[in-house]
Each structure stands twice: as C-alpha cells, then as structure tokens.
A and B are shown apart, each in its own frame.
Chain A
Amino acid sequence: MKKSDFQMKIAITLLSFIILSGLLAPWLAPYDPNEIHMAVRLQGPSKEYLFGTDALGRDMLSRILYGGRASILLALIATTLSMTLGMIIGVCAGYFTGVCDIVLTVVTQIFQGIPGTCLMIAIAGILGPGMNHLLLALVVTSWAGFSRIVRTETLRIREQPYMEGLRALGAGTSTLLLKHLIPNMLPNVVVLFTTRVGRSVLSIASLSYLGLGLQPPHPDWSVMISDARLHYRSAPHLIIVPGLCMFTLLFAINLLGDALRDRMDVREEEVKEW
C-alpha cells in the first residue's frame, strides 16, 4: 500500500509538471517555437538558449515546452474514442448473449488477429498525414483490446447476485447497464485507460518519427527527434532533450498505471486470445 502511494505521488508530480508546462507554454516560452534564425543554428546550450538551437536556429526550450501538447491531447482523444467503441461493443456482446455476442466476438477476434502496429502504420501511411487519419489508424487498431476485456467483465458482473436482485425488482435494461453494470466496471476501466494512454503516446510518437503522424514544422518531441536525424551526431542535445521529455511522460504514465492497478486490485490480462 505504501509503495503504490509513493509511486502515485511521483507519477502525479511528474505528470502535472509536464501538463502544466504544456498548458503554460505560450507564456513560458522565451521565443516563438517556429521562429527561424539561421545565424544561430545548431548552438549548444547557453544562457540565451537554455537547451540550444536546432538546425534552423529555432529555440529548443520553446519547442520542448510546446512539444508534448499535441501528442498528449491526441493520445487522450484516441484512447477515449477506442475505449468508448470498445465498451459499447464489449457490453453489448457480454450482456445480450446469443447471436449478438457471437457476431461481435467474431468481429473482435478478427481485429485482434491482425498485428496492430503493422496495420496502424499501413493505415496511417496510405491515408497520408493528418490528425483525423492518425486518430482513425489508432482507433481501428486498438478498440478490440478494450472490447474483449469489457466483455469478460460484463459476463462476470452480469451473474452477480445483486444484478439478479435488481432485475427481480423490475429494473429496466438501460438502468441496469448505465447505473449498475458500467459503474462496477470503473476500476478496471480507469486502469486500462491509463495504460492505454501510454501506449497511444508511444504509437503517435513512432508514427510521427516515421513521418506518418504529426508533421514538421509542428513543435513535437518526436518530430524534433526525426528532424535531427542528420545532425544528432554533432549536436546530441537535439535528440537527448526531447527524448528525455517523452521518456519522462511515458514513465510517469506507466508508474501511475501500476500504482492504480495495485490500489484498485485489478489484473490486466497480458495475453490476448483470438
């Protein structure tokens, strides 16, 4: 118990620091993140430019401050969307048994059987850059994971005595689902959401690095690393600083997920079935 409390505190501190600096970026940033100064390109850290400048002379500190905004926001949106979709399908499959369950389970199985990252790269690649395309690629390849877990949970809760009692009292389907079944699933959903946000951040970062996600000149950590591919050997700070930021963000999310899992006593299944 103590350990997860400690983890939780570290995670929340790190996350609030990252989120706050992202939110306050317009006021904190000393320069415009996209302002080009060819005269001061590829400078190391100095008093004037705390984290140095990149190949176009843009201030690294300002770009770092702005750098997490888009990916965090996109990861939250993508995870919420795929979770909503997964929950609707999972609850329907688990609650309304029979043909509905079979059809939905088969569809879920098909989506789970396709290697997700490969398909995600292919979708993002074929549709071309753009926020909507990025979201589509993420949601299509991740909703099935939610759906399967939610279905198992629904099946379990459905058979609980209190559900039967409510049914005997004459509660309608919508009351049962919205007021009793879904709230009982909440601890699992919260843990699942946290870990999946981390995964989405990582996916968006990988796609952006490959040039299939967020596009330059957008100030984003992975775009910055991707931009620095030609120069990082002579100017390592170009990849070290944005990478550290991304690492800290992911580490904090993972830590939070672990702590929540400990506290709420849920076990996420690592192995998926198809």
Chain B
Amino acid sequence: MKHYLLQKLFSLFLVLFGISLAAFVLGILTPGNPAELALSKGGYSPTPEQIKEIEIEMGLDVPYPVQYVKWLNRVLHGDLGTSYASSRPVRQELIERIPITLKLGSCAMVVTCINGILIGCIAAAFRGKGIDKIVQLGINISLSLPAFWFALLLILFFSESLGWLPTSGNGGIRFLIMPTTVLALPASATAARLMRSSLLAEFGKPYYLAAIARGTNRFEQIIKNALPNAIVPVIALMGNTLGGLLGGSVIVETIFALPGIGSYAIEAIYGRDYPALQGYVLVTGCVYVLVSLLVDGISLLLDPKVRVGRRRL
C-alpha cells in the first residue's frame, strides 16, 4: 500500500512536470517574436530598440532552461502572465471562466454516470436479446457522431424548428441541456459499453453462479452481487472521460457560445494570445491530473483488489 502510494505520488509529480514543460514548449513554438507580439497592439509597430528592451524585461535573452525555471517560479506563485488581447492577468480571466466549464463538465459527468451504468446494466441483463442489440447499435451510432455536427443538428431541430430551447448563450439550466447532451453522448456510450462487458465477465464467475443457485431473483443478482465488482473499471474510466469532456468542451462552448475556458482557448488561438493559451493548457492539465487522482482514490476505496492488481505492474 505504502509502495503504491509513493509510486502514485511520484508519477503525479512527473505528470505535473510534463504538463508545465508542454505549456512552456508551446510558448517557445509560437511563430514570431513574443516581445514584438506583446508590443504591437492596435497597429503599433515597435522599433528594434524597444523590442530588445522588452525582450530583456520579459527575460527572453537568457537560454531556454533558465527561462523555464524562471517561468515555472512565476507560475507556482500564481502568475500566469498577461493576456495580449485584454492586457489583464490570465489568471483572473481563467478564474472568471472556469465555473461555466465546471458546471457544464459536472452536468455531463453526472449524465454520463447515470446513463452509462443504467444502459450497460440493461444491455447485460438482456444479453443477446433485442434490447441488447439496439443498445449496441446505439452505442456505435453515438461514437460515430461528430460532436460539432450533432450540436448543429440539435440547434436546427430543437431551437429552429421546435423553438423549445435557446440556441446559445449562458443562463439557466435551459441553456445547458443541449451542450450537456452533446458532451455526454459519446462518453455515455463508452461507459455503457464498458459496463456491459464488465458485467458479462462477472456473470461467469463462481460467486455469481452461487448467487443463482441460492435462488435469488435476477434483479438482486445483478444489482447486489455483480454490480459492485463490475463497476470498478467503469469508475476508473471516469478519469479518462473527464479528459474527453475537457477537450470536447472546446467545440461545445464555441458552438453554444458559452464563455468557459474551452471557448477561451479558441479565442486565444484566433487572437494569437499565447499566454492565455499557455494558461489554458496548464489549468486543464492540472484539473485532469487532480480528478484522475480523485478517481483513483475512489476506486481504491471501493475495491481493495485494485491496489494488489496494480502493484504487479
């Protein structure tokens, strides 16, 4: 157990280092001179002397490793730089936008959990029957729908034709229905598929046969006996799901005009606002790592087998 936790802590540290490195390298890869970009706002073209001055001020005149250490030091103190577009601290802008993405993400996560577990259980319970086949087809369809196309179709149908839901914008729960649906659809399908195969694997095990032999009813067998074991990999999957949701939120927020961090990233790209994009990579990376850690903790609490199984790796 102790060994496992230490190993986990070590890889956590490594991954965080990797994320910071990725964000820093993205900054280096930017085409053009960052000093020039920072200065040339509103059509102003700076002189070479001014650029030189700013370069020194921004610390761009020293080798990359030194720049990285200095940059990391600033980031660890909570300074993510200043946005070129708005001249405001990136940290401030991200803090204002995170709640919307968080709200959207958690809605999608809840929907994914409920749908995935429920549909997976139903499909497994009726294995090989009509319902199972329909579910499998549905899963394949859900995984083949490009998110942006599905979102536009929803708008076309529910907003334009029926007029039931608002097209875009940020407001109450009605504004979140379509974005959540688009985000949760492929995630639910993946979760349901895993739930189904995981349950089917449990059905062949001796303890399950014993439960059948005891004469308990089918509902009890599945919910009480098989589900607690079968759900462990599904919970472990939720960490991955979050990565998908964070990525998907870029498209969904752009289409439904939600001012979260996903649309912030796109605005940053279109506006060549590199500090903002760096901040986005850092924040999403850290959120992802922390939630993965949380998910790992939950599966550890739920299933003692996990830590034994993983130690062998």
Which residues of A approach B to under 8 Å, CB–CB?
106, 109-111, 113-123, 125-128, 198, 202, 205-206, 209-212, 222, 225-226, 229, 232-233, 236, 239-240, 243, 246-247, 250-251, 253-255, 258, 267, 270-274
Contact = CB atoms under 8 A, between A and B. Distances in A.
Given A250-B144, A254-B140, A225 B18 contact: no
Interface of B: 11, 14-15, 17-19, 22, 26, 29-31, 140-141, 143-149, 152-153, 156, 160, 190, 193-194, 197, 233, 236-237, 239-240, 242-244, 246-248, 250-251, 254, 265-266, 268-270, 274, 277, 280-281, 284-285, 288-289, 292, 310, 313
A127 B285 contact: no
Given A212-B269, A270-B240, A243 B153 contact: yes
The binding surface of chain A is classed by DSSP as helix
A114 B29 contact: no
Nearest to A202: B146
B19 A114 contact: yes
Contact of B11 (A113, A226, A251): A113
Contacts of A212: 269
B146 A271 contact: no
Given A117-B247, A247-B145, A122 B19 contact: no
Given A206-B146, A233-B156, A247-B146, A271 B19 contact: no
B246 A117 contact: yes
Given A115-B285, A210-B254, A271 B148 contact: no
A246 B153 CA distance: 14
Given A113-B15, A126-B274, A273-B313, A118 B149 contact: no
B246 A114 contact: no
B14 A116 contact: no
Contacts of A254: 140, 143-144
Contact of B140 (A109, A126, A255): A255
A206 B148 contact: yes
B197 to A, nearest CB: 8
22 contacts: A106-B11, A110-B17, A113-B288, A113-B292, A115-B247, A116-B243, A118-B288, A119-B281, A121-B265, A126-B274, A210-B254, A212-B269, A222-B146, A236-B156, A239-B153, A258-B140, A270-B237, A271-B233, A271-B239, A271-B240, A273-B313, A274-B15
Contact of A117 (B141, B153, B248, B268): B248
A114 B18 contact: yes
Main secondary structure of the interface of B (DSSP, over half): helix
Contacts of B156: 232-233, 236, 239
A236 B145 CA distance: 17
**B143, B266, B270: which has the most chain A beta carbons within 10 Å?**
B143
Given A113-B18, A247-B145, A251-B144, 19 more contacts: A109-B11, A113-B11, A113-B14, A114-B19, A114-B288, A120-B247, A121-B266, A121-B269, A122-B265, A123-B26, A125-B277, A206-B147, A209-B146, A211-B270, A225-B149, A247-B146, A270-B193, A270-B240, A271-B237
Nearest to A120: B247
B160 A233 contact: yes
A117 B140 contact: no
